[in-house]
Amino acid sequence: MNTESKDRAGVKDTTAYLISRQIMDHIYGDDEEMSNKDFVGLYHDFLRRGGSWQRLMDGDMRSVKIIEDAIEHLVKSRGDGKIAVIIASKPVSVVW
């Protein structure tokens, strides 16, 4: 097993993933999926917005708001993609 696949396999065992998953479940329910790719994007988005995992674990409300906003952005961007796929898969009917 190469290092990259080993790292990706362990993503769901990280504290950051578990916190993100718990917040996502609380806001959107546990039926919302989060792939490793989604989590890596969320992780970087959270840091880019100025969040800190350590401050989040210490209860910093600014970091809580940042992770909530990052999760909302992730879910909304995926939702827009899902809608586009649904629309694209429907047959087009032309009425003359």
DSSP state of 82: H
* CB contact at 8 A, 62 and 19: no
> In the chain, where are the structural domains located?
30-88
Average pLDDT over residues 36-46: 89
Q: What is the Cα–Cα distance from 73 to 2, expressed in whole angstroms?
A: 32
How many other CB atoms sit within 10 Å of the CB of residue 14? 13
Q: Please report, for residues 9, 74, 82, the alpha-carbon distance to residue 16 in angstroms, rounded to integers and kept in the order given.
A: 14, 15, 26
Q: What is the Cα–Cα distance from 78 to 86, expressed in whole angstroms?
A: 12
Residue range 18-31, pLDDT digits in tens: 888 888 888 877 77
Q: Give the mean pLDDT of the chain.
A: 77
